[in-house]
Structure 1
Amino acid sequence: MERDRPEVVAEVAAAFEAYERALVDNDVDGMLGFFADRAVRFGIADQQNGLEEQRRWRVAQGPLPAGRFLKETQIHTYGMSTAVVTTLFGYPGSVVLGRQTQSWARLPEGWRIITAHVSEPA
Protein backbone atom coordinates (compact mmCIF):
# COMPACT_ATOMS: atom_id res chain seq x y z
CA MET A 1 0.00 0.00 0.00
CA GLU A 2 1.30 3.40 -0.94
CA ARG A 3 1.21 6.06 1.73
CA ASP A 4 1.05 9.83 1.35
CA ARG A 5 0.87 9.98 -2.44
CA PRO A 6 1.12 13.72 -3.21
CA GLU A 7 -1.96 13.82 -5.45
CA VAL A 8 -4.11 12.06 -2.84
CA VAL A 9 -2.81 14.30 -0.04
CA ALA A 10 -3.67 17.32 -2.22
CA GLU A 11 -7.23 16.07 -2.78
CA VAL A 12 -7.79 15.50 0.94
CA ALA A 13 -6.20 18.85 1.79
CA ALA A 14 -8.61 20.62 -0.56
CA ALA A 15 -11.60 18.82 0.99
CA PHE A 16 -10.36 19.52 4.53
CA GLU A 17 -9.82 23.22 3.75
CA ALA A 18 -13.30 23.51 2.25
CA TYR A 19 -14.78 21.82 5.33
CA GLU A 20 -12.87 24.22 7.59
CA ARG A 21 -14.23 27.23 5.64
CA ALA A 22 -17.79 25.91 6.06
CA LEU A 23 -17.15 25.37 9.79
CA VAL A 24 -15.77 28.89 10.32
CA ASP A 25 -18.61 30.38 8.24
CA ASN A 26 -21.19 28.36 10.24
CA ASP A 27 -22.49 26.94 6.94
CA VAL A 28 -24.37 23.92 8.31
CA ASP A 29 -25.27 22.43 4.93
CA GLY A 30 -21.71 22.98 3.74
CA MET A 31 -20.27 21.23 6.80
CA LEU A 32 -22.65 18.31 6.62
CA GLY A 33 -21.86 17.86 2.94
CA PHE A 34 -18.42 16.61 3.98
CA PHE A 35 -19.73 13.84 6.26
CA ALA A 36 -20.71 10.33 5.23
CA ASP A 37 -24.33 9.38 6.00
CA ARG A 38 -23.39 7.15 8.93
CA ALA A 39 -20.48 9.19 10.26
CA VAL A 40 -19.87 9.24 14.00
CA ARG A 41 -18.67 12.49 15.58
CA PHE A 42 -17.46 12.93 19.14
CA GLY A 43 -17.28 16.57 20.21
CA ILE A 44 -16.03 18.20 23.37
CA ALA A 45 -19.32 17.63 25.21
CA ASP A 46 -21.49 16.00 22.56
CA GLN A 47 -21.84 12.99 20.29
CA GLN A 48 -23.69 12.40 17.02
CA ASN A 49 -24.35 9.22 15.10
CA GLY A 50 -25.32 9.92 11.49
CA LEU A 51 -26.19 13.04 9.57
CA GLU A 52 -29.62 13.67 11.09
CA GLU A 53 -28.27 13.80 14.64
CA GLN A 54 -25.44 16.00 13.49
CA ARG A 55 -27.82 18.34 11.62
CA ARG A 56 -29.97 18.82 14.73
CA TRP A 57 -26.88 19.48 16.84
CA ARG A 58 -25.28 21.88 14.33
CA VAL A 59 -28.47 23.92 13.90
CA ALA A 60 -28.75 24.31 17.69
CA GLN A 61 -25.14 25.54 18.01
CA GLY A 62 -24.03 29.10 17.52
CA PRO A 63 -21.10 30.02 15.31
CA LEU A 64 -17.53 29.44 16.42
CA PRO A 65 -15.71 32.28 18.14
CA ALA A 66 -13.96 34.62 15.72
CA GLY A 67 -10.36 34.06 14.77
CA ARG A 68 -10.13 30.27 14.83
CA PHE A 69 -6.71 29.13 13.68
CA LEU A 70 -5.14 25.76 12.95
CA LYS A 71 -1.69 24.58 13.90
CA GLU A 72 0.36 21.50 13.04
CA THR A 73 -2.17 20.07 10.61
CA GLN A 74 -1.08 16.69 9.29
CA ILE A 75 -2.63 14.69 6.47
CA HIS A 76 -1.67 11.06 5.99
CA THR A 77 -3.15 8.92 3.25
CA TYR A 78 -3.26 5.16 2.93
CA GLY A 79 -3.73 3.93 -0.60
CA MET A 80 -6.02 5.94 -2.83
CA SER A 81 -9.12 6.04 -0.65
CA THR A 82 -8.32 6.47 3.06
CA ALA A 83 -6.90 9.42 4.97
CA VAL A 84 -6.43 10.69 8.51
CA VAL A 85 -6.27 14.41 9.24
CA THR A 86 -5.10 15.71 12.62
CA THR A 87 -4.79 19.31 13.70
CA LEU A 88 -4.63 21.58 16.69
CA PHE A 89 -6.99 24.55 16.81
CA GLY A 90 -7.21 27.67 18.89
CA TYR A 91 -8.70 31.10 19.27
CA PRO A 92 -7.12 34.51 19.89
CA GLY A 93 -6.63 35.31 23.57
CA SER A 94 -6.54 31.68 24.71
CA VAL A 95 -3.49 29.52 25.33
CA VAL A 96 -5.58 26.32 25.15
CA LEU A 97 -5.25 24.34 21.92
CA GLY A 98 -7.99 21.91 21.02
CA ARG A 99 -7.42 18.70 19.11
CA GLN A 100 -9.25 17.46 16.06
CA THR A 101 -8.97 14.14 14.25
CA GLN A 102 -10.90 13.13 11.16
CA SER A 103 -10.89 9.88 9.21
CA TRP A 104 -11.74 10.44 5.55
CA ALA A 105 -12.74 7.92 2.88
CA ARG A 106 -13.09 8.33 -0.86
CA LEU A 107 -16.71 7.41 -1.52
CA PRO A 108 -18.56 7.47 -4.87
CA GLU A 109 -19.67 11.04 -4.07
CA GLY A 110 -16.14 12.16 -3.18
CA TRP A 111 -14.02 12.50 -0.04
CA ARG A 112 -16.16 12.28 3.11
CA ILE A 113 -15.48 12.28 6.84
CA ILE A 114 -16.42 8.90 8.26
CA THR A 115 -15.48 9.61 11.88
CA ALA A 116 -14.41 12.73 13.77
CA HIS A 117 -13.21 13.49 17.28
CA VAL A 118 -12.76 16.93 18.84
CA SER A 119 -11.31 17.47 22.31
CA GLU A 120 -9.68 20.07 24.52
CA PRO A 121 -7.26 19.39 27.36
CA ALA A 122 -8.67 19.76 30.86
Structure 2
Amino acid sequence: MIVNDPATLAEVTAQFERYEQALVANDVAVLDELFWDSPLTLRYGATEILHGYAEIQAFRAGRPAQGLARRLGRTVITTYGTDFATANTTFQREGSDRTGRQSQSWVRLPGIGWRVVAAHVSLIG
Protein backbone atom coordinates (compact mmCIF):
# COMPACT_ATOMS: atom_id res chain seq x y z
CA MET A 1 0.00 0.00 0.00
CA ILE A 2 1.26 3.43 -0.92
CA VAL A 3 0.73 6.22 1.61
CA ASN A 4 0.27 9.69 0.11
CA ASP A 5 0.49 8.71 -3.54
CA PRO A 6 0.88 12.18 -5.14
CA ALA A 7 -2.01 11.79 -7.62
CA THR A 8 -4.42 10.44 -4.99
CA LEU A 9 -3.37 13.10 -2.48
CA ALA A 10 -4.02 15.82 -5.08
CA GLU A 11 -7.51 14.43 -5.77
CA VAL A 12 -8.49 14.28 -2.11
CA THR A 13 -7.01 17.70 -1.40
CA ALA A 14 -9.08 19.18 -4.23
CA GLN A 15 -12.26 17.61 -2.80
CA PHE A 16 -11.39 18.79 0.72
CA GLU A 17 -10.91 22.35 -0.58
CA ARG A 18 -14.17 22.12 -2.52
CA TYR A 19 -15.91 21.02 0.69
CA GLU A 20 -14.39 23.91 2.65
CA GLN A 21 -15.51 26.47 0.04
CA ALA A 22 -19.02 25.02 0.06
CA LEU A 23 -19.10 25.01 3.87
CA VAL A 24 -18.29 28.69 4.33
CA ALA A 25 -20.57 29.67 1.41
CA ASN A 26 -23.39 27.43 2.72
CA ASP A 27 -23.58 25.70 -0.66
CA VAL A 28 -25.85 22.92 0.58
CA ALA A 29 -26.02 21.18 -2.81
CA VAL A 30 -22.23 20.65 -2.88
CA LEU A 31 -22.13 19.67 0.80
CA ASP A 32 -24.85 17.07 0.17
CA GLU A 33 -23.03 15.82 -2.92
CA LEU A 34 -19.77 15.27 -1.04
CA PHE A 35 -21.30 13.07 1.65
CA TRP A 36 -21.98 9.43 0.78
CA ASP A 37 -25.73 8.91 0.31
CA SER A 38 -26.00 5.96 2.67
CA PRO A 39 -27.61 5.10 6.00
CA LEU A 40 -24.07 4.12 7.10
CA THR A 41 -22.69 7.67 6.80
CA LEU A 42 -22.02 9.44 10.11
CA ARG A 43 -21.50 13.05 11.14
CA TYR A 44 -20.89 13.94 14.77
CA GLY A 45 -20.98 17.71 15.19
CA ALA A 46 -20.39 20.14 18.00
CA THR A 47 -24.08 19.91 18.98
CA GLU A 48 -25.51 17.03 16.96
CA ILE A 49 -25.17 13.30 16.37
CA LEU A 50 -26.27 12.38 12.87
CA HIS A 51 -26.63 8.82 11.63
CA GLY A 52 -27.29 8.35 7.93
CA TYR A 53 -27.32 10.64 4.94
CA ALA A 54 -30.95 11.69 5.49
CA GLU A 55 -30.19 13.10 8.96
CA ILE A 56 -27.09 14.89 7.67
CA GLN A 57 -29.03 16.35 4.76
CA ALA A 58 -31.84 17.55 7.06
CA PHE A 59 -29.28 19.20 9.37
CA ARG A 60 -27.66 21.01 6.46
CA ALA A 61 -31.04 22.24 5.18
CA GLY A 62 -31.92 23.72 8.59
CA ARG A 63 -28.54 25.16 9.57
CA PRO A 64 -28.22 28.96 9.77
CA ALA A 65 -26.41 30.40 6.75
CA GLN A 66 -24.58 33.11 8.71
CA GLY A 67 -21.42 33.08 10.80
CA LEU A 68 -19.79 30.29 8.80
CA ALA A 69 -16.52 32.02 7.90
CA ARG A 70 -13.48 30.43 9.51
CA ARG A 71 -9.71 30.22 9.31
CA LEU A 72 -8.15 26.81 8.96
CA GLY A 73 -5.14 25.94 11.07
CA ARG A 74 -3.02 22.91 10.48
CA THR A 75 -4.60 20.63 7.88
CA VAL A 76 -3.31 17.09 7.45
CA ILE A 77 -4.60 14.95 4.58
CA THR A 78 -3.30 11.39 4.34
CA THR A 79 -4.16 8.85 1.66
CA TYR A 80 -3.89 5.10 2.15
CA GLY A 81 -3.74 3.30 -1.18
CA THR A 82 -5.82 4.91 -3.91
CA ASP A 83 -9.32 4.69 -2.41
CA PHE A 84 -9.19 5.83 1.25
CA ALA A 85 -8.07 9.02 2.95
CA THR A 86 -8.40 11.02 6.13
CA ALA A 87 -8.55 14.80 6.35
CA ASN A 88 -8.04 16.56 9.67
CA THR A 89 -7.88 20.26 10.37
CA THR A 90 -8.22 22.81 13.11
CA PHE A 91 -10.17 26.02 12.65
CA GLN A 92 -11.30 29.25 14.28
CA ARG A 93 -14.53 31.01 13.46
CA GLU A 94 -14.37 34.75 12.91
CA GLY A 95 -14.95 36.58 16.19
CA SER A 96 -14.27 33.51 18.35
CA ASP A 97 -11.18 32.50 20.27
CA ARG A 98 -12.28 28.85 20.50
CA THR A 99 -10.43 26.27 18.43
CA GLY A 100 -12.41 23.73 16.47
CA ARG A 101 -11.35 20.34 15.17
CA GLN A 102 -12.68 18.58 12.09
CA SER A 103 -11.97 15.02 10.98
CA GLN A 104 -13.24 13.36 7.81
CA SER A 105 -12.87 9.89 6.35
CA TRP A 106 -13.02 9.92 2.54
CA VAL A 107 -13.59 6.90 0.29
CA ARG A 108 -13.43 6.69 -3.50
CA LEU A 109 -16.67 4.97 -4.44
CA PRO A 110 -17.19 3.26 -7.82
CA GLY A 111 -19.04 5.44 -10.29
CA ILE A 112 -19.30 8.52 -8.04
CA GLY A 113 -15.80 9.35 -6.82
CA TRP A 114 -14.64 10.71 -3.48
CA ARG A 115 -17.22 11.00 -0.68
CA VAL A 116 -17.11 11.65 3.07
CA VAL A 117 -18.29 8.53 4.88
CA ALA A 118 -17.65 9.76 8.43
CA ALA A 119 -17.03 13.19 9.92
CA HIS A 120 -16.52 14.70 13.36
CA VAL A 121 -16.49 18.34 14.43
CA SER A 122 -15.79 19.54 17.97
CA LEU A 123 -14.73 22.67 19.81
CA ILE A 124 -12.10 23.10 22.51
CA GLY A 125 -12.74 25.34 25.49
Is the shorter-chain TM-score for this pair beyond 0.5, marking a shared fold? yes
Q: Contact 2:35–2:116 at 8 Å: present in 1 too?
A: yes
Q: What is the identity, as a one-letter code, of the residue corresponding to 1:118?
A: V
Q: What is the identity, as a one-letter code, of the residue corresponding to 1:8?
A: T
Residue 96 (structure 1) shift: 1.3
Give the number of equivalent residue pairs.
122
- The answer for unaligned runs of 5 or more in structure 1 is none
RMSD of Structure 2 on Structure 1 (CA): 1.2
- The answer for unaligned runs of 5 or more in structure 2 is none
Q: TM-score scaled by structure 2?
A: 0.92
Deviations 1:31-68, CA, capped at 9 Å, x for gaps: 01001122100000101112211111111110251531
Q: What is the identity, as a one-letter code, of the residue corresponding to 2:118?
A: T
Q: Does 1:57 align with 2:68?
A: no
Q: How does 1:18-97 map to 2 (within 5 A)?
A: 18-38=18-38, 39-97=41-99
1 CA distance for matches of 2:71 and 2:65? 15
Identity of aligned residues (%): 42
Closer, same or farther in 2 for the Cα pair 1:100/1:64, shift >3 Å?
farther
- Counterpart of 1:121 (choices 99, 111, 124) is 124
Q: What is the identity, as a one-letter code, of the residue corresponding to 1:51?
A: Y
2 CA distance for matches of 1:58 and 1:14? 22
Q: TM-score scaled by structure 1?
A: 0.94
